[in-house]
Structure 1
Amino acid sequence: MSPSSSRLNQLAGHLNGNAANPLAVKPAYQVVEQPLGTTRHIRIVTIGAGMSGMNMIRTLRLHLTDYEHMVYEKNPRIGGTWFENTYPGCKCDVPSHNYQFSWRQNPEWSGFFSPAAEIEEYLGRVADEEKMREEIRTEHQVTRAEWDEAKGFWHIKVANLRTKTEFDDYAHFLLDAAGILNHWKWPEIPGLRSFQGELVHSANWPEKFDYASKTVAVIGNGSSGVQILPAIQPDVKKLVHFVREPTWIVPSRLQLITQGQGEEGSVLSELKIEPDGSFPPSQIERFKKDKVFYRKFVKSVEEVVNSNFPLTLKDTEFAAAAQQMATAYMTNALQGDKRLCDAMIPTFPLGCRRLTPGIGYLEALKAPNVTVVTDPITKIVPQGLETTSGELIEVDAIICATGFNVSFCPRFPVIGRQGNLQDKWTKELPKSYMSVAVPGFPNYFTFLGPNAPIGHGSVFTITEHIAKYLTRIIRKCQTEGVKAIEPSPDAVEDLYQHTQMFMPRTAWSGNCASWFKNGTVNGPVTALHPGSRIHFFHMLEEFRGEDWNYTRSGQINRFTYLGNGFSVKEAGDVDSTWYLDEPDKL
């Protein structure tokens, strides 16, 4: 054997990690004998089986392998807010054909705006057709989650509400899809529990509550109160409506279309709609059979929904014209009644509070059996309500349409690297990365967290984009040896700074009390995204890896996942020349 051959053999021995030389140091890094794209098995837990949780089930099925997924839902049925809200008049104020999954469209909606029961039925039907229930456990409530740094997963406590027992679970990734507008709260009025009549919250409507022929108080003129009042007004003996501050009531999209005030195009002008907003059978049949027409209709209305954002920009001619039109609309509906106009038409910018179509609401305020009270309530007594004027208003029932806890604090302890998120967001303003992640809480993601586009139109489409974004992150971790991922504090602070510098441009930061600002008048806007729906969708298209901190799975080299030089895209029966079919794909 020549010296050169001997040297080559010796070098090969070194490369194989089997050198005979006892002085050679075995390299710390070893190539892993697996192809690029190999997945590690992970467990994912999602909290909540509303539209967000359902979107997550489908998106994971389409784009992930080698995983298990469990969805815990506290209610006895799926549907989230559409299971919980059953009050009279409850319906969505986003057009029905845009308030649906884009991947499971329903041409059979009964009307332009869907009632709550119909939306809940739709969600249940989709869950059955997609066989989602095998991943959902109803009447199961997550009560605690704590991050285990060593093991790289969340320890979870779950209460079985049927059996009144508790058990342990775990998840490498914990997805909080519990929602923001379903943690209802009573108003903070002294003596509330002393009332001897029927006390009802709009979000917890008793099935057997009979309000007919009674004197009923409705507290609150948010979206729930605005829907309840005209629904019960014809049946009650007397209705006393307590209004803390005015709110903008605007024409519905249906009114704009039927009055020809929009630029919706010829497709919408062809619609057949009954005076009550329902679709006649012939229109539903056309939706079902004429796929081209239906597609154009859905896209046309989606464009209308997406066009709302310019209304919120302050100090523009467009906003001024829209506010002038809204003022004229409300004045006309109130028949010029000076007292009601002064009480109900705001001076703050259009859009400062959530815009509410309120079909029939303003007209109902003029009914003989309705009284609007603007004096603040000082206390509630057994017989009724006392106001600052000293008047006692006796009623048989009180309906509190007083909204939800929108502080963003989780309802259970979420203990990460920086303590309990409940404590953190109680002491500090809630901040997140693109509304989906929080520094110090690895592998914990939220749907519609702080500064999400919750007021920007159909939540269905928004949650679809979030589900895709989160799935891409999880897949990255699963295939690239990332044990834990969290957004960097600097990235979150920079995003927060941009958000709050942007908000003064909008009506959302105006001088009104709003849940956009956690019920404050002058507080920062914590609930809304600083831009349009399309802006949010565009923002989530790319994953900005530079904004995240990573913990590797015990690896010395970040490129361990590159493996043995092969790819899963060339294994088995897969199409290993896919790139020839998509030469222009970026």
Structure 2
Amino acid sequence: MPRITAKPQLSQHKETNGNGGRALPSMNGTKYAVRESPMFDPRPIRIIGIGAGASGINMIRTLRQTLSGLPFEHVVYEKNKGIGGTWLENRYPGCRCDVPSHSYQFSWRKNPSWSNLFASAAEIEGYLRDICDEEDMWGCIRTSHRVLSAVWSEEKSVWQVEVENTGTKEVVQDVADFLIDASGILNNWSWPDIPGREDFEGQMIHTAAWPEGFNVDGKVVAIIGNGASGLQVLPQIVPRVKKLYHPVRTPTWVLPPRIATMKMGAAAPVINQVEMGPDGEFTPAQIQRFRDDPTFYELFIRTLDLDSNLKFALSLVDGSPQQQWAAQKCREFMTAALGGDRALCEALIPAFPIGCRRLTPAPGYLEAMRDPKVSVVTEGIKRFVRGGIELATGEVLEVDAVICATGFGRSFRPPFPIVGRKGNLQDVWRVEAPASYMSVGIAGMPNYFKFLGPHAPIAHGDIFKLSEHIARYVARAIRKCQTEGILSICPSDAAVAEYAAHVEAFMPRTAWAGACRSWYKGDGDGDGDGDGSVVALHPGSRLHFLGMLAEFRGEDWEYVYAAGNRFAYLGNGFTGEEAEAMKRMNM
């Protein structure tokens, strides 16, 4: 049995008036009393973060800056043995980011030494580890700690959080005034929904849990899934296998080589000055130039960001010449890469709008389809059997190993109970379509903030700069609560409902709402039936999202005040600076 220990609760400044710890305003019949403290006098708070990936790491720094000089504690629980999130977990052959490295970094920690235009998982993880070293973050990160549950106490205005040390199996009870969920959306990998998995006697692995030493040399292998991981790993292993079967349920748009397209587009004047190899590897001289010439380095970053920001126009279906042009160019590229093979083109080139599913660059993937060792399988899979995969036709593909590139549990429902004012969010979002307030707040969830919740711009480019803006928004809201006597803050039901209505009305303008199987749609569980509403994406461009979060709309939130009076924070008529000055003068 796990041992249960209690962690002391951090004391809080709550105004008392002999009425259950909470003073009421005079209109309720209780006399209001002025606080004997200066304006904005902060109360001590405790903050719990979930996840030490890029967003969780950036949140540590942002809280330190925004709450500088204020009394607060911050602990981040990370279920893995190390930090980095997806870049720690995914280590399959060919795993790398499909966003340019110099965009996929924090604005406050630029790295001129990226080795490739598209950094590998290991290099990105190393970048994040270096940040933790440089910023002295390890003291507030608890690795190998999995959050088991979080329950909001209305009486105490705190989150009661149960955490398991995955090494010792000890379960700790912690509390927090604020809960920040940076656990990510594509985090809990999942097996394909195919019966008979336990009957297969060969080796079955998932790309998100690639075993060290896994060897495909000379084997007959099947790769299920043609999302980003499947497209990356397949060309890496084709030269080593005896035979490769590739069941494809739904075609996907494969982008032309990114470097080539940038060299022909608006970014060409800058990109053509950059020395790199055919696979995006920077020459040593180029890396040195990035280090020595900050003006050119900044120009290069701005060029990449501009190239990324312009891509939202490709997602607009109605009246978008960019959409039609991009679809035509992708079709031409895919046809040429497939050698004009009619059967392959019919199986792999989509009929749905470009962008309906996630756009994916995949160097070598289409070319590998023409390898005699590769067979594209378009028949549906019935089940796994002892020796391989039985198709809907009854044919059995005899294989030694199955690689499941089937992604992640794509539901927005949290993997553990989070119980707010409306009950367990797992249950609420099982009945209702997931909805959020600007992807950051959830109705009925006080003092809870989420990175990349429903309606977030997860298909709009790099998440590093997005996480910076989200973190600043969250930290400013927490500071407001800490210094203005606010015990809890929660987006109103009306604000969440009206934001969801705007999203619902906007999405038919986009390719995301097209008739394709996509985890962007549905009730949030990723069934991808093609008929559901788009819940995963932001209704606008990347810059549109950043502009939306630029200011805090206080009118969209509901507050509970410690003193029952929203102006109690004004205190005794002095500012904090005046109070400190008088203290120094013994006044």
The equivalent residue for 2:213 is 208
**1:106-152 per-position Cα deviation (integer Å, ceiling 9, x unaligned):** 11000110011111111111111111110000000110111111111
- 2:317 aligned with 1:314: yes
Equivalence map 1:149-548=2 (5 Å): 149-257=154-262, 260-315=263-318, 316-517=320-521, 518=526, 519-548=528-557
Taking the aligned partners of 1:421 and 1:28, their CA distance within structure 2 comes to 38
Cα deviation, 1:34-90, whole Å, max 9, x if unaligned, reads 222211100000000000100110000001021000000000000000000001110
Q: Distance between the aligned counterparts of 1:497 and 1:49, measured in 2? A: 33
1:562 aligns with 2:570: yes
Q: Give per-residue Cα distances to partners, 1:478-522, cap 9 Å, x unaligned.
A: 011110110000110000000010000000000000011122311
Once residues 173 and 180 of structure 1 are traced to their aligned partners in structure 2, the CA distance between those partners, rounded to angstroms, is 20
Name which one, 1 or 2, has greater alpha-carbon Rg.
1
Q: Structure 2 CA distance, aligned partners of 1:557 and 1:116?
A: 51
Identity of counterpart residues, as a percentage? 55
Letter of the structure 2 residue corresponding to residue 106 of structure 1: N
Q: Aligned partners of 1:279 and 1:91: how far apart in 2?
A: 15
2:38 corresponding residue in structure 1: 35
SS of 1:233's equivalent? helix
- Partner Cα distance (1:85, 1:521) in 2: 28
Q: Give me the whole-angstrom Cα distance separating, in 2, the residues matched to 1:249 and 1:122.
A: 28
Give unpaired runs (5+ residues) of structure 1.
1-25, 574-586
Q: Secondary structure at the match of 2:81?
A: coil
Aligned-partner Cα distance in 1 for 2:468–2:257: 25
Distance in 2, Cα, partners of 1:495 & 1:96 = 33
Secondary structure of the 2:221 match is strand
Structure 1 residues 494, 572: closer, same or farther in 2, change over 3 A? same
Shift of 1:440: 1.1
- Give the corresponding residue for 2:21: none
- Cα-Cα RMSD: 1.2
Query: Quick one: which amino acid aligns to residue 568 of structure 2?
Result: T
| Equivalent residue number for residue 128 of structure 2 | 123
2:72 corresponds to which residue? 67
Q: How many residues align?
A: 545
Query: Alignment partner of 1:340: what SS?
Result: helix
Q: Following superposition, which runs of at least 4 residues in structure 1 exceed 6 angstroms of deviation?
A: none
1:569 to partner: Cα distance: 5.0
Task: In structure 1, give the amino acid aligned to 2:569.
Answer: Y
SS at match of 2:254: coil
Q: Which AA in structure 1 matches 2:398? A: E
How far is the alpha carbon of 1:31 from its aligned partner? Answer: 2.0
2: distance between equivalents of 1:496 and 1:82? 31
Task: Report the alpha carbon displacement of residue 266 of structure 1 after superposing the two structures with TM.
Answer: 2.6
**Post-superposition CA distance 1:216-241 (Å, at most 9, x none):** 00001011100010111111111111
Post-superposition offset of 1:267: 2.4
Hey, what's the Cα distance between the residues in 1 that align with 2:394 and 2:448?
Answer: 51
SS of equivalent to 1:169: strand
Report the alpha carbon displacement of residue 265 of structure 1 after superposing the two structures with TM: 4.9
Deviation at 1:566, TM superposition (A): 2.1
User: Which residue number corresponds to residue 5 of structure 1?
Assistant: none
**Inter-CA distance 272–33: structure 2 relative to 1 (3 Å threshold):** same
Distance 2:312 2:553 in 1: 25
Letter matched to residue 431 of structure 1: A
Match of residue 14 from structure 1: none
Q: 3-state SS of the aligned residue for 1:307?
A: helix
Question: Structure 1: which amino acid aligns with 2:434?
Answer: P
* Structure 1 residue 570: Cα displacement: 5.1
- Partners of 1:565 and 1:116 lie apart in 2 by 54
